[in-house]
Every structure is written in C-alpha cells, then in structure tokens.
C-alpha cells in the first residue's frame, strides 16, 4: 500500500462508514442486524454466551495461512473498536478501487473477529461484566464465562497475531503540547523485565508500520501505552504464549466525544496492520517503536484559567464522568484539579479572572450550573 492508496482510503472513509451504529453506547442489539446482513464471504458462528446468556459471535473471512484473531468490547463501555470492525467489514464487502489491498489481506490471512466479547457490560455501559469481573484481568483465573470463550477461541484458532481493541480515557496526552492521544499502541511485555523478545519485535514492527502511515493524518496524536507487565492481563499473557498481540487504544480527538472521528483512525489502524501482516512488509527497525512518545496523563476536558480560589490564582481542571441515566449516556463535569495547570491541555480552555471561590463546594456548584 502506498501513500496515495492510503490517502484515497482515508478520503473515501464515508463510503465504508457503517452508519447504523454510532456514538459510544453500542449494545448487542445494535450489531445483530449488521451481523445478519453480512454477505456470504463472511462465516458467522455463535461461540458461547455471556453470564446473562447473551450470544457471543465469531465472524470470519479470508482463506490465507496467517491466522489473526481480533476482539472488541472486552470492556463493555469501550466501543470504538466495535464500530471500526464493522467499518472494516464494509470495506471488505466493497470493491471501490481497493481490490488489491482487499485481496492481499484475504488471500494471505484468515481473520477471526469477536466484535463484542462482553455484551452484558455493553448493555449496562460498564467496564466489567455482569459479575463485576474485569475480563482484561481474568486471563489466568477465567472466572468469567466470557473469558473462557476467548481462551477457547485462542486455542482453537491458534492465531499468529491478535488485535486487542480498547478505548482509553480523555486524560491521555502526547508530546510537549499535550495534544490528545487519539490512538495509542502497545506491544505487551512478556515479563517484569519488559524483555525484547522475538514476539514483541514482530509486534513492534507491525505497530511501526501503522504509525508511519497514520502520522500523515493525525501527526503528534499517536502514543505508546505503558508496557508495564501485568501478570493477569490478557495481552501480556497472549504475547507470552506466542500470539503476537497488538493492543490499540482509541482515544480523544478534538470535540469528538462520541468517538466518531476516532473510529476512522481505528479502522485505518486495523487495515494498515492487516495489510502489513499480509505482505510481510515489516522490514522496520524495531527500535523505532520506542520513538513513539509515551502517553502522559496531562489532558482534561475543560480548563478554566486565572480563577481565584482561597485568595490564590489557580486553574480549574474539569473531567467528564460518563453516566448512563434513563437510557441516555451523559457526560457529567466534575472538578479534577484546582492548581496551576500550565503543563496541561484540554479540549476547551477558558479564561475567567473574575471568578472567585472560597470553598470547594462552591466550585462544584458553579461547575454543575455552568456546564450541565
């Protein structure tokens, strides 16, 4: 894939955009009609069920030797990857001038997708499942039925590569200007020493390939997630087991609280990663992976500068808390920081030197009145 091809795909994204699913709150009932309407190139299987007996589906396409397993909504409230998967399905169903790219992927790879691993959590818009289990920390104990389903598929498919799709909070930033971290990648560690193993090197090269192209569209908005080893984490253990695992964290884009812009870059990340795998074109030096800047936690939803609080000049930092209420997803502003925030950036920065407060409760009341 050359840059011109990628520019054409990016500019044609609306033709692949699956408009039947939008926003942050994506449930099983939202994706079922899309699954049912997939063309005959796709194979659809029910591979298990959640604790509350909701079906978990596996969708496969392609005939190649390289097996790739991709899953989303392991955390029920992280849906951008799910939307991007269905955008990718639309790409595969289309033949709008990108046949060579499509054929390269589907002739060299067999792709297996679990678009919603945690349908119970998705319905309630929670990170955990119905038993309050974080599936991403359940790979060893497998207390959750959903975790067992994923492990069963891993053993059955024996993929060379995995894509573990997540959403990250708005708090993450990149670089000196603290731009929002719209997409972040991780080649998970296999041990506490964060050893550079053969598997991690292969994973890093795929990420480098994605990053090099994606920088053309969202420069200085791509980060590297912490590679601290988590003994009970899914990606770390799958990597350790020999399945090269690329973790993609979909994050914030300016004013994009529904992650509708971010989904495009998640879609492009998947497409670029799969194309790189299909062509075995990962000739990059793995050390370039470490040139991708680490995520920082220096981003907020709103900063109000030059406020007087207890007779001192400070800044107010506000974060939105996501809350499902009466079948609506709300973004509730809450005070996160009252301090000098010169090292922070935000989706919205305001200046209001006339504001004066003496008590925290007065700040909270003003924020609630002003932004809800």
pLDDT higher than threshold 90 for residue 361: yes
| pLDDT score of 256 | 98
CATH code for the part of the protein at 3-291: 3.40.630.10
Cα-trace Rg, the chain: 21
**Mean pLDDT, to the nearest integer, of 197-203?**
96
The larger pLDDT score, comparing residue 351 to residue 96, is at 351
Query: If pLDDT is split at 50, 70 and 90, which confidence band does 242 have?
Result: very high
- What are the pLDDT digits (tens) for 202-226? 999 999 999 999 999 999 999 999 9
Tell me the per-residue pLDDT of 146-159, one tens digit each, with 9 for 90 and over. Answer: 999 999 999 999 99
Residue 4 is predicted with a pLDDT of 74
Structural domain spans, the chain: 3-291, 299-371
Tell me phi and psi for residue 183, to 5 degrees.
-135, 135
Question: What pLDDT, on a 0 to 100 scale, did the predictor assign at position 280?
Answer: 82
pLDDT at 48: 98
Q: What is the pLDDT of residue 167?
A: 98
307, 315 contact by CB (below 8 A): yes
Number of alpha helices (DSSP H) and beta strands (DSSP E) in the chain? 11, 15
The per-residue pLDDT for 281 is 67
In angstroms, the CA 161 to CA 239 distance is 9
Asked if pLDDT for residue 193 goes beyond 80, the answer is: yes
pLDDT tens digits for 83-114? 999 999 999 998 677 999 999 999 999 999 99
Instruction: Provide the token pair at 11.
Output: 């500019």
Span 292-340, pLDDT tens digits? 999 999 999 999 999 999 999 999 999 999 999 999 999 999 999 999 9
Residue 3 clears pLDDT 70, i.e. is over it: no
């Amino acid at each position: 894939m050359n840059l011109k091809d990628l520019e054409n795909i990016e500019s044609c994204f609306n033709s692949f955009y699956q408009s039947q699913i939008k926003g942050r709150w994506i449930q099983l009932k939202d994706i079922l009609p899309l699954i049912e309407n997939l063309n005959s190139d796709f194979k659809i299987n029910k591979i298990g069920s959640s604790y509350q007996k909701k079906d978990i589906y596996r969708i496969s396409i392609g005939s190649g030797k390289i097996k790739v397993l991709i899953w989303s909504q392991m955390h029920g409230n992280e849906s951008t990857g799910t939307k991007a998967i269905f955008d990718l399905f639309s790409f595969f169903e289309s033949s709008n001038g990108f046949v060579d790219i499509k054929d390269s992927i589907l002739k060299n790879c067999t792709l297996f997708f679990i678009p919603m691993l945690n349908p119970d959590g998705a319905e309630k818009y929670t990170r955990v499942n119905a038993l309050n289990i974080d599936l991403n920390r359940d790979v060893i104990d497998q207390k959750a039925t959903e975790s067992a389903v994923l492990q069963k598929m891993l053993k059955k498919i024996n993929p060379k590569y995995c894509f573990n799709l997540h959403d990250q909070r708005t708090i993450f930033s990149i670089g000196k200007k603290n731009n929002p971290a719209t997409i972040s990648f991780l080649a998970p560690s296999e041990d506490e020493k964060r050893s550079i193993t053969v598997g991690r090197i292969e994973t890093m090269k795929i990420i480098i390939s994605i990053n090099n192209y994606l920088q053309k569209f969202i420069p200085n908005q791509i980060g590297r997630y912490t590679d601290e080893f988590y003994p009970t984490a899914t990606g770390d253990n799958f990597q350790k087991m020999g399945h090269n695992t690329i973790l993609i964290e979909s994050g914030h884009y300016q004013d994009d609280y529904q992650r509708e812009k971010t989904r495009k870059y998640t879609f492009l990340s998947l497409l670029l990663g799969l194309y790189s795998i299909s062509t075995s074109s990962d000739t990059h030096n793995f050390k370039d992976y470490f040139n991708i800047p680490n995520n920082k936690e220096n981003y907020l939803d709103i900063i109000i500068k030059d406020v007087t609080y207890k007779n001192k000049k400070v800044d107010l930092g506000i974060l939105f808390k996501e809350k499902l209420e009466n079948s609506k997803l709300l973004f509730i502003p809450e005070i996160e920081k009252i301090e000098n925030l010169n090292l922070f950036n935000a989706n919205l920065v305001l200046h209001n030197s006339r504001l004066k407060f003496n008590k925290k409760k007065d700040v909270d009341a003003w924020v609630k009145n002003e932004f809800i």
